[in-house]
Amino acid sequence: MEIPRIVGAGLVVIGAGIGIGRIGGSAMDAIARQPEATGKIQTAMLIAAALIEGIGFAAIFAT
């Protein structure tokens, strides 16, 4: 019973990691294209990253 829960939490964290990585990478691309929009892009990036991070933490604490 214990092992599937831990593996599941690990999978969720991997997913969250990929998600945050993609958000960061896309934000980098966007900033490189339009450096003048850096502030807006960073704000949107942080919000999206925070939302995904919440899911990751919820998975860790559910185990």
Give the residues lining the site for other proteins (CB under 8 A).
39, 43, 46-47, 50-51, 53-55, 57-58, 60-61
In whole angstroms, the minimum distance from the beta carbon of 61 to other proteins comes to 6
CB of 1 to other proteins, least distance (A): 20
State the DSSP string of 1-63: -HHHHHHHHHHHHHHHHHHHHHHHHHHHHHHHH-GGGHHHHHHHHHHHHHHHHHHHHHHHHH-
Q: Output the smallest distance, CB 13 to other proteins, in A.
A: 12
